[in-house]
Amino acid sequence: MKTLRALLRDRRFSLGAGIMAVLVGLALLSFFAPYDPTEWRVVPRDLPPSLEFWLGTSSLGQDVFWVLTAAIRNSLLLAIVAASISRVIALTVGLVSGYSGGFIDRLFMFVNDGFLVLPLLLIFVLLAMILKDQLTLFTMAVLFGLMGWAFDARLIRSQILSLREREFTYTAILSGNPKLKLIFNEYFLFVIPLAMATLIGNMIWVTGLEVTLAYLGLTDVTVPTLGTMLHFALSYQAILLGLYWWIFAPIAAAVALFSGLYLLSVSVSEYLDPRARMQRVGAR
């Protein structure tokens, strides 16, 4: 609670949390949609926003508002699952590599650096072209999670290298504590805040990647996401037809999602930065 109160004093965190609360609310609202968001021709086409259709309708015969709620839900779910998978890998690699040192550290960092230099976007485009029919939300979440951990694993490893030189480490070793117990009982608590901060940044990366692949038509476009909404709006020439509400809805939601996550990431990262914390103490 003390940490939360300190974060809420940061306007960036409060604004980011407010934006994310609205998006989560819209995502939950999707479960009460009067239409199936995957069905076409359920409402009249190309109607402007009104009291009946808050964000108008599309050329597909869909209510843009209710499709948008489902798209936000699916995009958030994809980002959370993918980021969670990559956090598990990043934490395991960072903790074990940072503490073990020697051959294990060199081996893990060799693999880690290999992932860092890979052209991930090109790899995902190639995989999407191969697995296009099988590229469901779950498949994308697993692929993104398996490929998006390397940078954060190196950050966690650097934190462990610092902790390994602390007095409590020597005390635990002299007391006969097993390595795994020391790593996961002691070090784990120190790196959890860092893992949470990097999780937010990873969610931004996953969302941007999904929007890019869906815009190119390389994902399962039958599943509503922010990317597939943008794909259909552009494919059906929404701008030329003057259907601005159709293309504005996913763009505005994507910008809001990126902005909310970015504000949360910046404020949390700054709160965890010891130098920034010392400045706050000095200012008081």
Cβ–Cβ < 8 Å for 135, 220:
yes
Is the confidence at residue 54, as pLDDT, over 70? Answer: yes
Q: What is the pLDDT of residue 3?
A: 63
DSSP state of 282: H
Is the confidence at residue 250, as pLDDT, over 90? Answer: yes
Residue 259 or 120, more confident: 259
* Domain layout of the chain by residue ranges: 2-283
Cβ–Cβ < 8 Å for 94, 153:
yes
Residue 247: partners with Cβ closer than 8 Å, 6 or more residues away: 230, 233, 234, 238, 239
Average pLDDT over residues 1-18: 77
Give the Å distances, CA to CA, from 41 to 29, 31, 60, 184, 211.
21, 20, 6, 54, 24
pLDDT in tens, 87-134: 999 988 888 888 887 888 899 899 988 888 888 888 888 888 887 667
pLDDT in tens, 22-38: 999 999 999 999 988 88
Query: What are φ and ψ of residue 149, in 5° steps?
Result: -110, -15
Q: Which of 83-97, 105-119, 196-210, 264-278 has the lowest mean pLDDT?
A: 264-278
Please report which helix (H) or strand (E) contains residue 255, including its range.
helix 244-272
Q: What is the pLDDT of residue 173?
A: 66
Is the confidence at residue 219, as pLDDT, over 90? Answer: no
| Mean model confidence pLDDT for the chain | 85
CA angle, 100 as apex, 150 and 112 as ends, to 5°? 15
Is the confidence at residue 151, as pLDDT, over 80? Answer: yes
DSSP state of 183: I
**CA torsion angle for 54, 57, 58, 59 (degrees, to 10)?**
-170
Token pair listed for 175: 């007391």
Is the confidence at residue 220, as pLDDT, over 90? Answer: no
Q: What is the pLDDT of residue 174?
A: 65
Query: What are φ and ψ of residue 203, in 5° steps?
Result: -65, -40
DSSP string over 100-155: H-HHHHHHHHHHHHHHHHS-HHHHHHHHHHHSGGG--HHHHHHHHHHHS-HHHHHH
Per-residue pLDDT band for 245 (boundaries 50, 70, 90) equals: very high
pTM of the predicted protein model: 0.86
Task: Look at the chain and count its residues.
Answer: 284
Distance, CA of 116 to CA of 121 (rounded, Å): 12
* CATH fold of 2-283: MetI-like fold (1.10.3720)
The share of the chain scoring above pLDDT 70, in percent, equals: 86
